[in-house]
Amino acid sequence: MSNSTLHIIKIGGNIIDDSGQLAVFLEKFAAIPGKKILVHGGGKIATRLASDLGLEAKMVDGRRITDEKMLDVVTMVYAGLTSKNIVATLQKYNCDALGLSGADANVIKAIRRPVKDIDYGFAGDILADSVNTLSIKKFLDAGFTPVFSAITHNGNGQLLNTNADTIASSLALALSELYETSLIYCFEKNGVLTDIRDEDSVIESINFESFEKLKSQGVINEGMIPKLDNAFNAISKGVKNVYIGNALNLHLFQQGKFGTCLAIK
């Protein structure tokens, strides 16, 4: 493994929908030294645009049902509008960013999610060993900062909508073979909270055993569960550190004071 460090940072939640907060976050992201990758979700912009076009956005357990028309919308928003706005802002802060989907340079392949109880449409699940680490390394070595949208492809010309948290953890897992990798999830909360209404109730460190206990007690629920599932999977397979915290506090990461730190034990 290279001694070089890599930070993979995922931005989501309401930050994407607030241009002012997003700009503040991107300035902090640009200031992080060394090799880094940004992964972004789409926020609520795709839902608003779909409504403007007369399309109904359908969600099940927080995951979007992506039919053919909705795939067009999320591709336009995630890989187009949102991606290019983020890249343009990072250039403003002297961060030479490169907006990518999974199809670009064949970096991330996925398969259409099999239909079980629910048909998620053109939702993509990332296959093991489907992250093209050598292509990503070329971008990083050339001094570029890759910015990944939540769009992948199946290698046969079909684009797919893939959960951005999953993309971030899959990149971290694959690239941990080449770099000392940290995975950082940024959103609008200060970290994993014991009380969702109290931003000061941050759990500074959490391991898998305590996560399972808090989940069974209902302290941790809803959208935080898949985020933590992805995070613990990553840290158990070679990712050095995983953090979850407030996007606007990203500058505290270098000081070791950022959000919740996940530990194996």
Please state which of the ranges 1-15, 43-57, 200-214, 240-254 shows the lowest mean pLDDT.
1-15
- Give the pLDDT band (50/70/90) at residue 87: very high
Residue 265: per-residue pLDDT: 65
Q: pLDDT of 139-178, one tens digit each?
A: 999 999 999 999 999 999 999 999 998 999 999 999 999 9
Mean pLDDT of 35-40: 98
Compute the distance between CA of residue 8 and CA of residue 161 in angstroms, rounded to an integer.
20
Computed over every residue of the chain, the mean pLDDT equals 91
Q: pLDDT of 105-141, one tens digit each?
A: 999 999 999 998 899 999 999 987 899 999 999 999 9
Compute the distance between CA of residue 27 and CA of residue 214 in angstroms, rounded to an integer.
34
Residue 1: per-residue pLDDT: 43
Residue 57: per-residue pLDDT: 82
Residue 3: per-residue pLDDT: 58
What's this model's pTM, rounded to 2 decimal places? 0.92
Residue 184: per-residue pLDDT: 95
